[in-house]
Amino acid sequence: MHKLGISIYPEHSTPEKDKAYIDLAHKYGFTRVFTCLLSVSGDKEKILREFKETISHANALGLEVLVDISPRIFEALHISYDDLSFFHELGAYGIRLDMGFTGSEEAAMTFNPYGLKIEINMSNDTNYLNNIIDFQPNRENLIGSHNFYPHRYAGLSYDYFVKCSERFRSFQIRTAAFVHSNDATYGPWPVTEGLCTLEMHRGLPIDTQAKHLLATKLIDDIIVANAYASEAEIAKLSAVLRAEKFGLNIQLHDTITPLERKIVTEEPHFYRGDVSDYFIRSTQSRVKYRDEAFKPTFTPNIRRGDILIENELYGQYKGELQIALKDMENRGKTNVVGRIRDEEIFLLDYMEPWTKFEFFID
């Protein structure tokens, strides 16, 4: 089961604002909270006072709070990896190790008496995870998440992201990655050029980022890295997670007929199994509406991402819906009724035969 999460940075905000954001996330079914001790200085009591109130509020609503730390923080707060009582007292669900130890320590930490989850950094394609596994951890308490990157162009490349994620998948470790809100204004550091795991996501709508992560089948949990995402963005993420079908955001052309609009927006669609390089075919509409008229309307040459309905010049194919995968010549037999939003056209590469899909009009 996939989970959604938000991030809070108490040192840059107030408990009242953070609690209101947690309430909003809870309203839309979010169940995870990421927070950060990497940039916080002070003694244990000060840290406890600043974090405990907000974490307690999240816990009361059933949200799981993971705290990002590093070995330096262990040192600064005089915490030992074999005594995680500090984080238990804080109310944390688990801790995320931004930088790890040798493998033995992480494995030992998974046996902590409080049942705290130990989340490790996924954004390095090294034998780090293998080392931990060699030390026989309690895998129930071992999870992973990718980094996020505030610096433009510093995010992970897609191919590298896949390699790192597949390593965790091979050990059946729960995975997470970060998306960024285009409405949020800050993260843990001064640089704010978006805050995402994948560089290709920077600047994309938040729901498009989430659709992509789910389509890779490599990520379990999706967390908004920066604060505060707007309610509209939170709602969109919730809708992506609840959706039973693969959804694509589209624009329809003014030339679309009422029947064609009904086919696009109301009829069920699935990717026909005998695959073509040129288009995704959804053929049930041509059966259901075989006695209806489909006059030629708007028939320009076809571009990848166009939504097509064959007109009556195509004989028995009239009424069939297609999504163009390649540019094609149009000989007047195909009505171009709409188009996938440009930022989502790349998602077509993740659709597979028999995928059930639907369209959402912007």
Same domain, yes or no: 237 and 178: yes
Q: pLDDT-based confidence at 190, cuts 50/70/90?
A: confident
The yes-or-no verdict on residue 73 having pLDDT over 70 is yes
CATH of the domain at 301: 2.40.100.10
* Rounded-to-integer distance, Cα 21 and Cα 210, Å: 20
pLDDT value at position 43? 60
Summarize pLDDT for 226-277 with one digit per residue, the tens: 999 999 999 999 999 999 999 999 999 999 999 999 999 999 999 999 999 9
CA separation, residue 275 to residues 142, 286, 326, 355, 358 (Å): 40, 18, 13, 12, 19
Same domain, yes or no: 110 and 220: yes
Summarize pLDDT for 120-142 with one digit per residue, the tens: 999 999 999 999 999 999 999 99
pLDDT value at position 40? 58
Q: Which of 199, 226, 243 is the last residue of a domain?
A: 243
Q: Which three-class secondary structure state does DSSP give residue 259?
A: helix
Q: Give me the domain span that covers residue 145.
A: 3-243
Annotate 200-238 with b (16+ C-beta within 10 A) or e (fewer): bbbebbbbbbbbbbbbeebbbbbbbbbbbbeeebbebbb
Residue 87 sits at the vertex; the CA angle it makes with 127 and 129, to the nearest 5 degrees, is 5
The yes-or-no verdict on residue 72 having pLDDT over 80 is no
The yes-or-no verdict on residue 189 having pLDDT over 90 is no
Q: Which of 243, 278, 303 is the last residue of a domain?
A: 243
User: What does DSSP say about strands 32-36 and 3-8: parallel, antiparallel, or unpaired?
Assistant: parallel
Same domain, yes or no: 175 and 130: yes
The yes-or-no verdict on residue 49 having pLDDT over 90 is no
Q: Which of 243, 273, 307 is the last residue of a domain?
A: 243
Same domain, yes or no: 233 and 255: no
Q: What percent of the chain has pLDDT over 90?
A: 85
Tell me how many domains the chain contains: 2
Same domain, yes or no: 80 and 103: yes
Summarize pLDDT for 282-338 with one digit per residue, the tens: 999 999 999 999 999 999 999 999 999 999 999 999 999 999 999 999 999 999 999
Same domain, yes or no: 300 and 215: no
Q: Which residues pair with 279 in a beta bridge?
A: 324
Same domain, yes or no: 9 and 115: yes
Q: pLDDT-based confidence at 41, cuts 50/70/90?
A: low
Token couple for 315: 């004989």
88-92, 215-219, 269-273: range with lowest mean pLDDT: 88-92
Same domain, yes or no: 49 and 108: yes
CATH of the domain at 160: 3.20.20.70
Same domain, yes or no: 111 and 198: yes
The yes-or-no verdict on residue 39 having pLDDT over 90 is no
Same domain, yes or no: 257 and 346: yes
39-48, 51-60, 128-137: range with lowest mean pLDDT: 39-48
Same domain, yes or no: 204 and 128: yes
